[in-house]
Amino acid sequence: MADYKYGMNLIRVSNTTAWSSLVPDVIKEFNMPMQNPTKEYPGVITVGSSWNITDPGGPVFTTSRLFESLEEVEEYNHATMNQNKERIELVNSIHERCLSFTFRLSKILINAEYKGSGKPGVLSRNIFKARVGKIDEVIRFLTSYVESLPSDASIPQVSEVTYGSIGVLRLITPYENNIEAELGYEKSRSSWESPEVQKASESIESMVRSVSRILDTNL
Protein backbone atom coordinates (compact mmCIF):
# COMPACT_ATOMS: atom_id res chain seq x y z
CA MET A 1 0.00 0.00 0.00
CA ALA A 2 1.45 3.35 -1.08
CA ASP A 3 2.17 5.89 1.63
CA TYR A 4 0.50 9.01 0.28
CA LYS A 5 0.86 12.20 2.29
CA TYR A 6 -1.30 14.70 0.42
CA GLY A 7 -4.38 14.70 -1.76
CA MET A 8 -5.63 17.36 -4.16
CA ASN A 9 -9.21 17.65 -5.39
CA LEU A 10 -10.54 19.59 -8.36
CA ILE A 11 -14.30 19.87 -7.78
CA ARG A 12 -16.42 20.94 -10.76
CA VAL A 13 -20.15 21.70 -10.53
CA SER A 14 -21.54 21.04 -13.99
CA ASN A 15 -24.13 22.94 -15.98
CA THR A 16 -27.51 21.23 -15.63
CA THR A 17 -27.99 20.86 -19.39
CA ALA A 18 -24.45 19.98 -20.50
CA TRP A 19 -23.26 17.62 -17.79
CA SER A 20 -23.61 14.38 -19.79
CA SER A 21 -21.25 15.67 -22.48
CA LEU A 22 -18.63 16.17 -19.78
CA VAL A 23 -18.26 12.47 -18.93
CA PRO A 24 -16.04 11.43 -21.88
CA ASP A 25 -14.11 14.70 -21.76
CA VAL A 26 -13.24 14.60 -18.04
CA ILE A 27 -12.11 10.98 -18.45
CA LYS A 28 -9.95 12.01 -21.41
CA GLU A 29 -8.49 14.91 -19.42
CA PHE A 30 -7.80 12.62 -16.45
CA ASN A 31 -5.66 10.34 -18.61
CA MET A 32 -4.03 12.99 -20.82
CA PRO A 33 -0.36 13.85 -20.05
CA MET A 34 0.47 17.44 -19.15
CA GLN A 35 4.15 18.03 -19.88
CA ASN A 36 5.98 14.81 -19.15
CA PRO A 37 4.24 11.84 -20.80
CA THR A 38 6.14 9.39 -18.58
CA LYS A 39 4.93 10.95 -15.33
CA GLU A 40 1.67 9.58 -13.92
CA TYR A 41 -0.12 11.16 -10.98
CA PRO A 42 -2.22 8.47 -9.25
CA GLY A 43 -5.81 9.32 -8.58
CA VAL A 44 -9.48 8.81 -9.29
CA ILE A 45 -12.29 10.73 -10.97
CA THR A 46 -15.89 10.49 -9.78
CA VAL A 47 -19.31 11.93 -10.56
CA GLY A 48 -22.11 12.37 -8.06
CA SER A 49 -24.92 14.63 -6.96
CA SER A 50 -24.27 18.04 -5.45
CA TRP A 51 -23.65 18.14 -1.70
CA ASN A 52 -25.58 21.40 -1.46
CA ILE A 53 -29.33 20.98 -1.99
CA THR A 54 -29.67 24.71 -2.80
CA ASP A 55 -27.04 24.49 -5.55
CA PRO A 56 -28.69 25.03 -8.96
CA GLY A 57 -25.99 23.09 -10.81
CA GLY A 58 -25.90 19.58 -12.17
CA PRO A 59 -23.77 16.60 -11.08
CA VAL A 60 -20.41 17.23 -9.43
CA PHE A 61 -17.21 15.90 -11.04
CA THR A 62 -14.31 15.41 -8.63
CA THR A 63 -10.78 14.71 -9.85
CA SER A 64 -8.56 13.53 -6.98
CA ARG A 65 -4.78 13.14 -7.17
CA LEU A 66 -2.49 11.61 -4.54
CA PHE A 67 1.07 12.65 -3.70
CA GLU A 68 3.84 11.21 -1.55
CA SER A 69 5.33 14.63 -0.68
CA LEU A 70 4.80 18.38 -0.93
CA GLU A 71 7.52 18.38 -3.58
CA GLU A 72 5.26 16.24 -5.77
CA VAL A 73 2.39 18.66 -5.14
CA GLU A 74 4.59 21.53 -6.33
CA GLU A 75 5.67 19.52 -9.37
CA TYR A 76 2.05 18.84 -10.25
CA ASN A 77 1.07 22.50 -9.80
CA HIS A 78 3.92 23.54 -12.08
CA ALA A 79 2.78 21.01 -14.69
CA THR A 80 -0.81 22.34 -14.61
CA MET A 81 0.52 25.85 -15.31
CA ASN A 82 2.51 24.64 -18.32
CA GLN A 83 0.20 22.18 -20.04
CA ASN A 84 0.42 21.35 -23.72
CA LYS A 85 -1.93 23.16 -26.10
CA GLU A 86 -4.29 20.22 -26.67
CA ARG A 87 -4.84 19.74 -22.95
CA ILE A 88 -5.38 23.47 -22.35
CA GLU A 89 -8.09 23.52 -25.02
CA LEU A 90 -9.78 20.49 -23.48
CA VAL A 91 -9.68 21.98 -19.96
CA ASN A 92 -11.14 25.27 -21.22
CA SER A 93 -13.91 23.39 -23.02
CA ILE A 94 -14.78 21.51 -19.82
CA HIS A 95 -14.86 24.65 -17.70
CA GLU A 96 -17.18 26.37 -20.18
CA ARG A 97 -19.78 23.70 -19.30
CA CYS A 98 -19.35 24.12 -15.53
CA LEU A 99 -20.87 26.61 -13.13
CA SER A 100 -17.85 26.53 -10.81
CA PHE A 101 -14.60 24.74 -10.07
CA THR A 102 -12.73 24.61 -6.77
CA PHE A 103 -9.35 23.27 -5.64
CA ARG A 104 -8.81 21.59 -2.25
CA LEU A 105 -5.55 20.34 -0.76
CA SER A 106 -5.67 17.83 2.10
CA LYS A 107 -3.11 16.23 4.38
CA ILE A 108 -3.66 12.46 4.47
CA LEU A 109 -3.74 11.04 7.99
CA ILE A 110 -4.73 7.45 7.11
CA ASN A 111 -4.36 5.88 3.66
CA ALA A 112 -7.25 3.95 2.14
CA GLU A 113 -7.04 0.23 1.39
CA TYR A 114 -9.76 -1.45 -0.65
CA LYS A 115 -10.55 -5.06 0.31
CA GLY A 116 -13.65 -5.78 -1.75
CA SER A 117 -14.01 -8.87 -3.92
CA GLY A 118 -14.70 -6.91 -7.11
CA LYS A 119 -13.38 -3.71 -8.63
CA PRO A 120 -14.31 -0.57 -6.62
CA GLY A 121 -17.19 1.24 -8.29
CA VAL A 122 -18.16 4.04 -5.88
CA LEU A 123 -16.65 6.30 -3.24
CA SER A 124 -18.52 7.22 -0.08
CA ARG A 125 -17.39 10.64 1.16
CA ASN A 126 -18.16 11.81 4.69
CA ILE A 127 -17.20 15.42 5.34
CA PHE A 128 -16.90 16.53 8.98
CA LYS A 129 -16.73 20.15 10.09
CA ALA A 130 -15.12 20.31 13.54
CA ARG A 131 -16.07 22.95 16.06
CA VAL A 132 -13.43 25.61 16.69
CA GLY A 133 -10.56 24.13 18.69
CA LYS A 134 -11.96 20.58 18.47
CA ILE A 135 -10.37 19.20 15.31
CA ASP A 136 -7.85 17.02 17.17
CA GLU A 137 -10.67 15.37 19.12
CA VAL A 138 -12.47 14.57 15.86
CA ILE A 139 -9.23 13.17 14.40
CA ARG A 140 -8.85 10.89 17.43
CA PHE A 141 -12.46 9.72 17.02
CA LEU A 142 -12.04 8.95 13.30
CA THR A 143 -8.74 7.17 13.93
CA SER A 144 -10.37 5.04 16.62
CA TYR A 145 -13.25 4.27 14.24
CA VAL A 146 -10.87 3.06 11.51
CA GLU A 147 -8.89 0.96 13.98
CA SER A 148 -12.11 -0.72 15.18
CA LEU A 149 -13.11 -1.96 11.71
CA PRO A 150 -13.04 -5.72 11.06
CA SER A 151 -9.87 -7.04 9.41
CA ASP A 152 -11.74 -7.83 6.18
CA ALA A 153 -13.30 -4.36 5.87
CA SER A 154 -11.92 -1.75 3.48
CA ILE A 155 -9.93 0.97 5.21
CA PRO A 156 -11.18 4.50 4.52
CA GLN A 157 -8.88 7.40 3.81
CA VAL A 158 -8.87 10.05 6.54
CA SER A 159 -7.58 13.50 5.65
CA GLU A 160 -7.57 17.07 6.91
CA VAL A 161 -8.30 19.91 4.49
CA THR A 162 -5.44 22.42 4.61
CA TYR A 163 -6.33 24.55 1.57
CA GLY A 164 -9.88 25.83 1.63
CA SER A 165 -12.24 25.58 4.59
CA ILE A 166 -10.27 25.06 7.82
CA GLY A 167 -11.39 22.50 10.40
CA VAL A 168 -12.71 20.07 7.79
CA LEU A 169 -11.96 16.34 7.88
CA ARG A 170 -12.78 13.80 5.18
CA LEU A 171 -13.52 10.08 5.59
CA ILE A 172 -13.55 8.44 2.15
CA THR A 173 -14.37 4.76 1.70
CA PRO A 174 -14.27 2.76 -1.56
CA TYR A 175 -17.04 0.23 -2.19
CA GLU A 176 -17.80 -2.17 -5.01
CA ASN A 177 -21.23 -0.63 -5.65
CA ASN A 178 -24.02 1.47 -4.14
CA ILE A 179 -25.51 -1.54 -2.38
CA GLU A 180 -22.28 -2.14 -0.47
CA ALA A 181 -22.02 1.59 0.28
CA GLU A 182 -25.49 1.61 1.82
CA LEU A 183 -24.71 -1.50 3.87
CA GLY A 184 -21.61 0.28 5.16
CA TYR A 185 -23.74 3.30 6.07
CA GLU A 186 -26.25 1.14 7.96
CA LYS A 187 -23.45 -0.54 9.92
CA SER A 188 -21.96 2.80 10.98
CA ARG A 189 -25.40 4.25 11.73
CA SER A 190 -26.13 1.42 14.16
CA SER A 191 -23.43 2.78 16.47
CA TRP A 192 -24.64 6.39 16.55
CA GLU A 193 -26.12 6.02 20.02
CA SER A 194 -22.90 4.64 21.50
CA PRO A 195 -21.13 6.73 24.18
CA GLU A 196 -18.12 7.18 21.87
CA VAL A 197 -20.21 8.67 19.06
CA GLN A 198 -22.25 10.81 21.43
CA LYS A 199 -19.05 12.23 22.94
CA ALA A 200 -17.54 12.88 19.49
CA SER A 201 -20.72 14.66 18.35
CA GLU A 202 -19.96 17.42 20.87
CA SER A 203 -16.86 18.27 18.80
CA ILE A 204 -18.56 18.09 15.38
CA GLU A 205 -20.41 21.07 13.96
CA SER A 206 -21.80 19.32 10.87
CA MET A 207 -21.44 16.22 8.69
CA VAL A 208 -22.33 15.64 5.04
CA ARG A 209 -22.30 12.32 3.17
CA SER A 210 -22.30 11.66 -0.57
CA VAL A 211 -21.76 8.60 -2.74
CA SER A 212 -20.15 9.13 -6.15
CA ARG A 213 -19.60 6.77 -9.06
CA ILE A 214 -16.00 6.11 -10.08
CA LEU A 215 -15.51 7.02 -13.75
CA ASP A 216 -11.83 6.08 -13.94
CA THR A 217 -8.79 5.48 -11.75
CA ASN A 218 -5.10 4.66 -12.13
CA LEU A 219 -4.56 3.58 -8.52
CATH number at 61 reads 3.30.70.100
Residues 90 and 163 placed together within one structural domain of the fold: no
**pTM, whole model, 2 decimals?**
0.90
- How far apart (Å, rounded) are the C-alpha atoms in residues 145 and 62? 25
In angstroms, the CA 219 to CA 91 distance is 22
In a domain, 81, yes or no: yes
User: Among the three residues 74, 105, 136, which one is the final residue of a domain in this structure?
Assistant: 105
Do 71 and 86 share a structural domain? yes
Give the pLDDT confidence score for residue 155 in this predicted structure. 95
| Domain closes at, from 84, 105, 126 | 105
Structural domain range at position 162: 107-217
Counted domains in the chain: 2
- Give the number of other Cβ atoms within 10 Å of residue 140's Cβ: 12
Assign 183 to helix, strand or coil. Answer: helix
pLDDT of residue 37: 54
Residues in the chain, pLDDT under 70: 1, 35-38, 50-56
Q: Note the pLDDT of residue 82.
A: 84
For residues 35 and 85, state if they share a domain.
Answer: yes
| Contact indicator for 109, 143 with CB cutoff of 8 Å | yes
Would you give the DSSP letter of residue 59?
Answer: P
Q: Apex CA 60: angle with CA 41 and CA 187, to 5°?
A: 90
C-alpha to C-alpha distance for 135 and 73, rounded to whole angstroms? 24
Please state, as a whole number, how many other Cβ atoms lie within 10 Å of the Cβ of residue 38.
5
- To the nearest whole percent, how much of the chain has pLDDT over 90? 68
